Structure 1
């Protein structure tokens, strides 16, 4: 539907007025869900990141972040931000706060933190009733201060759209429930199956029908676990976390060990004594199903790091690094260097103080007692940034859903 006067109201769209506006009870703010991909990460974050994109120190430090190999689209150097995909902006927004603190003006940094904390809550996998009020307070505070901190160039419509996020979260749950990240990932998968130069619609329809039948067959109780694992490896898409489930069940997944690890004789004998077993084998890489873990020593020289993990021990969650992957009598164990968490990242506004559950600061003690865990004790892999010799920031992805 074309506008009679194209300049009548620029907010109604580029090509013309939305036909749904003619409906009596239709409200744009409440009837359209907030899309984190286009509105926030691909829109609002672009405006904010212009303030930091030219600082060489920021670029270098952000490039030192260590992401698991299962991360979708790890950020390129910030100087290339104009070519970023939405998930690269997403990772910068969610995890770059410790770096920006030293380079942004205090008022701009505090305002940026309000947005970071709000979207960690809005994306978090398990929302609490109090989180809705916190999201509303954080975003209202962010939008109230934004016009006075940024120029008209940055004060765009996508910034205003943030005001509708809390309504979507309140009505339909966390952002991953309706984000177009997953939608675009599925479109990409379907597009990759089209090989002909004509009859595209028919080819896509056939692919979707085959996928539907394949999914039904893999859910049958008598379907081969080995074949199911192979199909997952062929069709898998990168995920932002280690697993699609809370824990790894090794009895249903194939285990592949690679690259034997050489250690000094004293350490080897210590491990033998702990397990009371002579035939001990140490490795640097293990793949459990489609999930890879590595030792910290192996990951030091690599772009990605699969050694930093969140795990369960004594009925509580902890963070640590995998030092050794041990094979004992056909069973796998991880030797863990435990991290001591000092505090979570905090944000204060007025008389209210917030803690981000997904961003922690900590260090490890070289003299701490050695202990081992089983693969099923691993919850997920984490992002980390080493600020100093023994000072780390640890970042947990708020959701395990795929990103495009």
Structure 2
């Protein structure tokens, strides 16, 4: 393209601690001559011989033929420029490798091909994996730089005359910068790619230095700092502590990245054909060939176009978990674990699938795949594969989530191609297992895939069947769907009209898949062809692709809120848009517990997150709609809340599953007459399959997308620029893994202050520091030392404790019991929260006034008043079991109970449904397991 060439500004090379040496703008020959002279002045004979270099670059490798070319070019240039065969840079610090110039550095680029980086990853044996770093990419391309891609950051930009542009020139021609003469600006997006590709030296750190690195990286992650900011924090700490510069510990960016590399895992870059989407695999050459298209493609162009994904081997991550993070006591023994009721569903292990197909030699994995838009101004989406280990306590399942792969593009991945390396590794984990060491013993652990969790958009891609808006779009049953006119278009309704459709089976689905491929038809009963997941040994393509309750309920909540509050339906009997302000008034007056977020106005419902829709369905909707939504619609809605309350319990009886199924089917079947058949959407239809999912895999919270969606939000936060976003995501995940591995190695050497600081950095929800701990309670805040008033003394005597009236005792107003924070009703600081209502062991409800620790006693008592249920007053015909209607006022007698009698906290509030009628309600938080509280 002809036109005026972009003016190049001068650039810098950092060779030593003496400061930057400016290279004047001139011809390329002059620049090369100047740099050669400068290099000769600063160097002595190299100590690293060509044989040493062979340890890093294998010339005989078939995977990386370009490496041999680069190394041969290096040796030719070395022989031409110096009489000595070996040179070394003396002025470089110990943590920086000397820069190795290759033939690519002196190439005239007359062919117009882009430069290739001369550095390669030692662990991954890949070309240019680390193009961008997650938290440093803040640079912006010049406005007239047409070679810069908006979505991905390539290694180099080349002007029309073949010269490297300003941002990339320092990366291409300079070694890693030193700590003393670093540039002031934190423009790390251009230099990070070269740093990631450089072969870093081995770190020789003491335990104390490793602890400092760990704390520094944890601070970097918590506050989303760049590497330069992290270095400055250490500099500031050294200055404030008046440490000598020669003895002070100064971890450079290079050291921090090397530490992450050592404690993390390798990643590999896999390509797909840009034309047909066929999986190519790992490419170690400048170009690759697609046999299906009979075409050759340039590797760098394919990367910049987004036709690739990064894969992080699960074997390495699982081995790290087994060796460093998990102990034998941490992993749940599913056969001998304690249960509330031996016959109930209490976890995934109680489901029919686990009991039938998972033997004692296996641990099980769930994996999740879904798209997440990385920004509001771009259509680019990330499609990560997240993996969780089931045989862990709930809070650890979230903590030790793994990412196996990530795809980033404006288009959806072809799952049969994208999942190939993942499926191959799952098969290997099932047959060969993971070899690891524990306590000096060599052990093997096998893994089996249990559940694939995804939403209704991704699930058809994984099953290779029609989407929900196509004919026979349900992958669980043979309901064909009914195409109906709706608005200006059409909608597919899953109305049953009292008809029951048979469930699909794995064998039938595979038969239809083979037939569809052999006959080349679009689909047979909704099945288009074979799915790659069926290659995993024993994987049931029907049952193990679970109907995720999270997305299902969120969509149902959105649908009915739209019907009730949107003015489009103002003429319908179920629409209450004219009374939306009344519903909002009730809603905004509610003071929930600290475990449940305060609800926003319904006018902001388009911005509600998933957990807010859960709370609306289960807690807020029925009392807020009482006497506003007509009774027949409210009674119908309460059936959904009733069924979900049964299924979400910690322990679910088989009879309760039967009742829940009855209420869910009744809820779905009545929609035809109440709202119209066009509103029996696919998400509504999935409610009829929830109980089958519970029978196969336990309660919905065992295999919900909720914990994965939280990680999706973290992944979204990792992306700070559209340039190289996929590498920003993987680097963020690698940092998270490195912190866990490094912590497990050095934690036993850390003192209490270091451990406390690390916990603050790694944990988002930190419990308050207790003043003292008695029995199972941790008392918070400074106590009020006072003599007890007569009512308190009488309450203690009723509990069998006689106290001296003149001796002062400790009175507290906050405490932690069973990992829940309780406040007394007299605690005034929490004005928008109510943590003062407790459920006791005998199912009675107690309102807390204060917590008493008698002088010279090791016992703690809760003082308060009982409040009784009001069984005559009902909100609706089908009152959910987790909801209790209480009397408006507690009893007048003050009581004292042992703090150990408290079981859990209740969400309690009052709602004025009319001028003369008020409901005081208490809710058991059945969603605590779902939200891992």
- TM-score normalised by length of structure 1: 0.76
Checking the alignment, whether the CA contact within 8 Å between 2:837 and 2:848 is kept in structure 1 is: yes
Residues 289, 358 of structure 1: CA spacing in aligned structure 2 closer, same or farther, 3 A cutoff? closer
SS at match of 2:600: coil
The 3 A distance-change label for structure 1 pair 175 and 12 is closer
Match of 2:843 in 1: 317
1:158 corresponds to which of 670, 676, 683: 683
CA positional deviation for 1:60: 1.4
C-alpha distance in 2, partners of 1:206/1:87? 28
Counterparts in 2 of 1:378 and 1:30: CA distance versus 1, 3 Å: same
Instruction: Give matches, 1:116-195, under 5 Å.
Output: 116-151=641-676, 154-188=679-713
String of CA shifts for 1:210-260, please: whole Å, max 9, x gaps: 336757999x9x999999888766655569xx9xxxxxx855775322575
Q: CA deviation digits over 1:320-363, x for unaligned, max 9?
A: 21112223236542212111123396876xxxxx6633111122
Correspondent of 1:335 among 859, 863, 869:
863
1:296 has 2:825 as partner? yes
Measured at CA, do residues 153 and 238 of structure 1 come closer, stay the same or move farther in structure 2, by a change above 3 Å?
Answer: farther
RMSD over equivalenced CA pairs, Å: 4.5
Name whichever structure is richer in helix by fraction: 1
Distance verdict in 2 for CA 1:276–1:78, change over 3 Å: same
Residue 37 of structure 1 aligns with which residue? Answer: 550
* CA distance in 2 between partners of 1:215 and 1:154 (Å): 52
Structure 1 match to 2:585: 60
Which sections of structure 1, spanning at least 5 residues, go unmatched? 243-248, 349-353
Question: Contact 1:226–1:254 (CA<8 Å) still a contact in 2?
Answer: no
Counterparts in 2 of 1:153 and 1:398: CA distance versus 1, 3 Å: same
**Secondary structure of 2:595's aligned partner:** coil
SS at match of 2:845: strand
Larger CA Rg, structure 1 vs 2: 2
CA distance in 2, matches of 1:345, 1:108: 15
User: Quick one: which of 393, 399, 402 aligns to 2:921?
Assistant: 393
Distance 1:138 1:212, change over 3 A: farther
Distance 2:792 2:601 in 1: 41
The question of whether the paired residues in 2 share the 8 Å contact of 1:337 and 1:364 is answered with: no
My pick for the range that moved more, 42-51 or 134-143, is 42-51
Q: Matched residue of 2:813: which SS?
A: strand
| 1:257-279 Cα distance to aligned partner (Å, 9 max, x none) | 25759999554665687650421
Q: Does residue 211 of the first structure (1) align with residue 723 of the second (2)?
A: no
Q: What does 1:5-154 correspond to in 2, within 5 Å?
A: 9=471, 11=473, 22=530, 30-40=543-553, 42-53=554-565, 54=577, 55-71=580-596, 73-95=597-619, 96-151=621-676, 154=679
User: Across the two proteins, how many residue pairs are aligned to each other?
Assistant: 382
User: Structure 1 residue 45: deviation in Å?
Assistant: 0.7
Decide whether the 8 Å contact of 1:311 with 1:318 is kept in 2. Answer: yes
**Separation in 1, partners of 2:753, 2:887:** 40
Find the residue that maps to 1:317 and give its secondary structure.
coil
Structure 2 equivalent of residue 363 of structure 1: 887
Whole-angstrom CA distance in 1 between matches of 2:776 and 2:636: 47
Task: Give, in whole Å, the separation in 1 of the partners of 2:787 and 2:717.
Answer: 45
Residue 308 in structure 1 maps to residue 840 in structure 2: no
Q: Which has the higher strand share?
A: 1
Between 1 and 2, higher relative CO (CA 8 Å, sep ≥ 6) is seen in 1
How far the C-alpha of 1:139 sits from its partner, in A, is: 1.0
TM-score by length of 2: 0.36
Q: Distance in 1 between matches of 2:660 and 2:836?
A: 32
Identify the residue that residue 276 of structure 1 maps to in structure 2. 803
Give the Å deviation of 1:51: 4.2
Deviates more, 1:354-363 or 1:82-91: 354-363
Does 182-191 or 320-329 show the bigger shift?
Answer: 182-191
Q: Does 1:256 align with 2:780?
A: yes
Change in Cα spacing, 1:156 to 1:370, as seen in structure 2 (3 Å) is same
Taking a change above 3 Å as real, the CA distance of residues 149 and 379 of structure 1, as seen in their structure-2 partners, is same
2:786–2:809: 8 Å Cα contact kept in structure 1? no
Q: Provide, for residues 66-94 of structure 1, a one-character-per-residue CA deviation record: whole Å limited to 9, x for no partner.
A: 311122x3321222211111111111111
Could you tell me which residue of structure 2 aligns to residue 286 of structure 1?
Answer: 815
SS at 1:47's partner residue? helix
Unaligned runs of 5+ in 2: 1-413, 415-460, 476-521, 566-576, 768-772
Q: CA deviation at 1:376?
A: 3.1
Q: Provide closer, same or farther for how the CA distance between residues 105 and 300 of structure 1 changes in structure 2, counting only shifts above 3 A.
A: farther
SS of the equivalent of 1:33 reads: strand
Distance 1:141 1:225, change over 3 A: farther
